[in-house]
Chains A and B, each alone.
Chain A
Amino acid sequence: QSALTQPPSASGSPGQSVTISCTGTRSDVGGYNYVSWYQQHPGKAPKLIIYEVTKRPSGVPDRFSGSKSGNTASLTVSGLQADDEANYYCSSYAGGNNVVFGGGTKLTVL
């Protein structure tokens, strides 16, 4: 059982927007602005797409955005493209050098 809760699946049609949630507690998501999101295509290593809740690394399209409210963080993918089909994982700093991950969400582009 993962420390952070994500929906197992999400879907949307090309051009649409989809939002994936990541729910924790005040000991992790709610307590720190250190939430990250990762994209993982099959057979590949995860890739960082969001850090510090809302920031994008260089090279990540602005179609990817992050937010947080209370103990729940969210990733929104706008203008869905076929290549966005992947698994998405959230993570959060949980104090005392610990990091916890979500169980992952499989995004399907219909």
Chain B
Amino acid sequence: QLKLQESGPGLVKPSETLSLTCTVSGGSITSIGYNWDWIRQPPGKGLEYIGTIYSGGSTYYNPSLKSRVTISIDTSKNQFSLRLSSVTASDTAMYYCARRDASDAFDIWGQGAVVTVSS
């Protein structure tokens, strides 16, 4: 049974870089037909798509965040990571990693990681 688990600092200072890692267990991150995504949810608000990384390493980012986002993959560790630079209070959110299938549905989600941006 495939599981995803987010990890990383829960508190980031304004203007610094947020870094999170998603560890995939119970299956391979190189499985054909799946991509790996980051999605966030500000407190009390809806879901926002951040970006995708394909097992081959290519990426796609939400145009509204593209200038600040980097997603990378480490197939040897079965992990993928998110970096979001120059954060502000508006980046405070629950950050989820998720598997995206061939129909562009997010079929497996991590439990989420709370990240607060504050000095």
A residues within 8 Å of B by Cβ? 2, 34, 36, 38, 45-48, 51-52, 55, 57, 89, 91, 93, 96-104
Contact = CB atoms under 8 A, between A and B. Distances in A.
A13 to B, nearest CB: 26
A48 B103 contact: no
Interface stretch (B8-16, B21-29, B71-79, B106-114): B106-114
Greatest chain B CB density within 10 A among A45, A47, A51 is at A45
A97 B49 CA distance: 11
Contacts of A52: 103, 105
Q: Dominant SS at the A interface? A: strand
Contact of B46 (A47, A48, A97, A103): A103
B109 A104 contact: no
Given A34-B104, A101-B47, A102-B46, 19 more contacts: A34-B103, A34-B105, A36-B104, A36-B105, A45-B96, A45-B110, A46-B109, A48-B107, A51-B105, A89-B46, A91-B105, A93-B104, A98-B60, A98-B63, A99-B100, A99-B104, A100-B49, A101-B46, A101-B48
Interface string B77-119: 0000000000000000000100011011111011110000000
Given A97-B60, A99-B49, A104-B46, A45 B103 contact: no
Interface residues of B, number: 21
Nearest to A53: B103
Nearest to B96: A45
Interface of B: 37, 46-49, 52, 60, 62-63, 96, 100-101, 103-107, 109-112
A2 B46 contact: yes
Contact of A98 (B49, B96, B106): B49
B49 A45 contact: no
